[in-house]
Amino acid sequence: MDWTNLLEIAETEQKRQKSIRVHCCTSTGCRAANSLSVKQNLDNAVAESGLGDRVEVIGVGCMGFCGRGPLVQVDPEDLLYEEVTPENAPSIIEALDGGEAKPIKGDSQHPFFSRQMKIVRQHTGKVDPERIEEYIAVGGYQSLYKALYEMTPEQVVSEIGKSGLRGRGGGGYPTGLKWATVAKMPGKQKYVICNGDEGDPGAFMDRSVLESDPHLVLEGMAIAGYAVGADHGYIYVRAEYPLAIQRLQKAIQQAKKYGILGSQIFESPFDFKIDIRIGAGAFVCGEETALIQSIEGKRGNPVPRPPYPAESGLWGCPTLINNVETFANIAPIIREGAEWYVSIGTKNSKGTKIFALTGKIRNNGLIEVPMGITLREIVEEMGGGVPNGEVKAVQTGGPSGGCIPASLLDTPVDYDSLNKVGSMMGSGGMVVMDRETNMVEVARFYMEFCRGETCGKCVPCRTGTVQLYSLLTKILNKQATKTDLEKLETLSYMVKETSLCGLGISAPNPVLSTLRYFPQEYLELIQEDSLNSKVTV
Amino acid sequence: MSVRTLTIDGQPVAAIEGATILEAAKEGGIHIPTLCFLEGVSAVAACRMCLVEVEGINKLLPACVTKVSEEMVVHTNTPKLQEYRRMVIELLFSEGNHVCSICVANGNCELQDLAIEVGMDHTRFPYRFPDRGIDVSHPQFGIDHNRCILCTRCVRVCDEIEGAHVWDVAQRGAAAYIVSGLNQPWGEVEACTSCGKCVDACPTGAIFRKGTTTSEKARDRAKLEFLVNAREKHEWTR
């Protein structure tokens, strides 16, 4: 496989593709709404109508507007159909021949779509994730080739550094710096790990990337391997994502067959193989040190850092560990150049971020927006606002993040601004809450999650989350006093400052941010101080 | 081998490169409370008792695993640390069933000692009164999970010194417990050599010798060192 072969595959595929492409979402969200039967009926309709020579139906990844699935989109006219049923699906094909399409017509120019900026999700919903040829036809694996033949590993690292890309898993650590550290570490054996253990309640960005465009992640990992000097990569995916796992397996197999993964990639001296490791249901394994323990076959417990994985990671070797979305940004950066990437976003947060927009909002789904867009633009314009009500707060960052009140909706979405208002970028969950939402209950919901997911290794996280949960329950049951409220705050700070890993450090954030912005809701549930209440002996 | 000089609680201390803050402090005669730490086995930094403040670093660092560096300024006993240490002990007391008066380790218990050291005379948090079960299937020893604080000293001692790996941690969070063998009763675990190191390593009365009653548990910590010396240096007497 060389450059000419790559272009040949792309050309053959472009010629093979028919002039009208009917894209039917076959990702997890739309599947749950019966999209597989929709696709079956679309296929049948094409066969029956005899349009097979110019029309093809393609099962594609997520188109983003998950709240209105199953979605069907027709190119080149860019027609969007929402909530398609197996019964009315054939009419979409009939409409191509002058008939009338029965399903609800969507507005592909709605701000939900038009305000997006797609870098990572550029090809999702357009390419068949189960066919590598489609990915190659849209320019796939050209960045890897470019990196291998036109750049030295140092140049790749410096390009990523210059792009200003920061970790998309939530922490926001500069990706280039991490790559440079691993690249500079001595040692023959190094590893690249892709963290696909997405576990925040309400977040499904990484799942959609893996299901919709698995090759984009594989290409990013291979480029990373070349840059830092690793010949072996692992993708750690949670077992709850069977479709993502299945598509990744297929993608790896296809890439190997073409000589794009494995030994002597593109006939260069660079070897890189990728293995999949499947999580066993622990949220804490999204924490990098716990994830590494889990890959090693041990109990997924976090271990103290330093040493950081970049120094001593998988089996004690220097290890580069990045999130799915981070790796998905690599190929576009190499293709378009760091300068292009720098032009997108804010001063300290470059590029785009995918959010899973859920909660009390009209338009649910996945959006990819440039950094610096305000929460108001996302919630009110793209999300269409709260149905029959007003926004009370927006929760970002899942159980590690916080609640941002409606008064701060003009906060720009970037790493530093979100930290400043007491929340965080997190992996990309964004839950909108309306006036009916009880913020104390929200805090308790997230605490219940952390209480169940703490590994139990360090004392503050293991027992502190249990006590915080019971304090919140006591408050909600209107049995708590002011002393309990003070205790809640003191304990929150203690757990935050003394826990071993990110899970415990961030677990009290939902409590602290709701205490900060909605103290009244707590105070309304508080009983008179015990000094005034009768003491019975 | 080079030396690093640092300041711990205002006192200048010289430590070998690669030493931990805990080791440096100990050498300088400064006491830092510990609970899960056990000399001779790996440190896990789980109990958070040895957290210290280091100037210029905005988070608290566990002294047992943090390496010293040149001109480091360490504070080991600030009011904040005192408060957090007391809370750790309070949380542990409310988590298990730690009733000293009826415990084999009464008077010889590290959890009890620490409660006294940090001035914990009551816990602000409600007792959870867990029902975690007791395993007395082993002919010589028993484990009362209600007294266990999950420090994992037994796990490490059994794995790293005895090499038997009888113990491990099962489940997670509040449900986590020390598991023997393949989740079998301790007495049925063939890997157990009945060496009793876990009994000596256990800081509380969770793992005990059968037949001991209230306040009778005594530990033979020197035995660990003796065994290691016997094996590695062939010193058979002590």
pLDDT score, position A535: 46
Residues in B closer than 8 angstroms to A458, CB to CB, are 45-48
- Whether residue B127 lies within 8 A of chain A, CB to CB, comes out as no
| C-alpha neighbours within 13 Å on the C-beta side of residue A249 | 9
CB contact under 8 A, A460 and B48: yes
Q: What single letter denotes the amino acid at residue A75? A: D
Fold (CATH) for A16-108? Glutaredoxin (3.40.30)
Taken in order A351, A3, A179, A339, the sign of the CA dihedral is negative
Radius of gyration in angstroms for the set of CA atoms belonging to chain B, rounded to a whole number:
19
pLDDT score, position A529: 61
Residues in A closer than 8 angstroms to B85, CB to CB, are none
CB contact under 8 A, B126 and A470: yes
Name the residue among A27, A41, A11, A184 with its Cα closest to residue A102. A41
Give the strand pairing for A273-278 and A365-370: unpaired
Dihedral Cα A481, A486, A492, A497, nearest 10 deg: -160
Helix (H, G, I), strand (E, B) or coil at B141: strand
Top residue of A283, A285, A308, A467 to mutate, by most chain B CBs within 10 Å, is A467
Neighbours of B144 (CB within 10 A): 20
For residues B13 and B17, give the distance between their C-alpha atoms in angstroms, rounded to a whole number.
12
The residues near A8 (Cβ < 8 Å, ≥ 6 apart) are none
Fold (CATH) for A139-342? Rossmann fold (3.40.50)
pLDDT score, position B54: 97
- Whether residue B78 lies within 8 A of chain A, CB to CB, comes out as no
pLDDT score, position B230: 82
Phi, psi of B183 (to 5 degrees): 60, 45
Task: Find the residue in B nearest to A282 (Cα).
Answer: B172
pLDDT score, position A530: 54
Q: What is the mean pLDDT of chain B?
A: 94
Residues in A closer than 8 angstroms to B60, CB to CB, are 497-498
Helix ranges restricted to H, chain B: 21-27, 79-95, 110-117, 153-156, 197-201, 222-233
Name the residue among A239, A232, A220, A170 with its Cα closest to residue A427. A170
- Sheet strands side by side (includes A319-323): A273-278, A232-237, A191-196, A319-323
Residues of chain B with pLDDT under 70: none
With tokens 């909108």, the residue in question is: A432
Q: What single letter denotes the amino acid at residue A205? A: M
For residues B116 and A377, give the distance between their C-alpha atoms in angstroms, rounded to a whole number.
56
Same fold, B3-76 and B84-233: no
Residue B100 is given by DSSP the state G
Fold (CATH) for A352-434? Ubiquitin-like (UB roll) (3.10.20)
CATH class of B3-76: alpha beta
Are A168 and A353 contacting, i.e. CB atoms less than 8 angstroms apart?
A: yes
Distance from CA of B51 to the nearest CA of A (A): 8
| C-alpha neighbours within 13 Å on the C-beta side of residue A380 | 12
Out of 3.30.70.20, 3.40.50.2000, 1.20.1050.10, 3.30.365.10, the CATH code matching B84-233 is: 3.30.70.20
Name the residue among B138, B146, B147 with its Cα closest to residue B166. B138
Are A385 and A379 contacting, i.e. CB atoms less than 8 angstroms apart?
A: yes
Residues in B closer than 8 angstroms to A508, CB to CB, are none
Distance from CA of A322 to the nearest CA of B (A): 23
Distance from CA of A277 to the nearest CA of B (A): 21
Query: Between vectors from CA A245 to CA A281 and to CA A274, what angle results, nearest 5°?
Result: 105
Task: Find the residue in B nearest to A306 (Cα).
Answer: B66
Domain ranges of chain A: 16-108, 139-342, 352-434, 439-523
- Whether residue B230 lies within 8 A of chain A, CB to CB, comes out as no
Task: Find the residue in B nearest to A503 (Cα).
Answer: B173
Name the residue among A309, A327, A333, A202 with its Cα closest to residue A272. A327
ipTM score assigned to the predicted complex: 0.94
Residues of chain A with pLDDT under 70: 528-537
Residues in B closer than 8 angstroms to A289, CB to CB, are none
The percentage of residues in chain A with a pLDDT greater than 70, rounded to a whole number, is 98
Name the residue among A442, A413, A440, A439 with its Cα closest to residue A426. A413
CB contact under 8 A, B173 and A487: no
**Angle between helix A439-453 and helix A509-517 axes, rounded to 10 deg:** 170
Nearest to A299 among B83, B94, B169 (CB): B169
Residue A389 is given by DSSP the state S
pLDDT score, position A527: 80
- Domain A439-523 indexed as CATH 1.20.1440.230: yes
Query: Between vectors from CA A497 to CA A491 and to CA A501, what angle results, nearest 5°?
Result: 115
Domain ranges of chain B: 3-76, 84-233
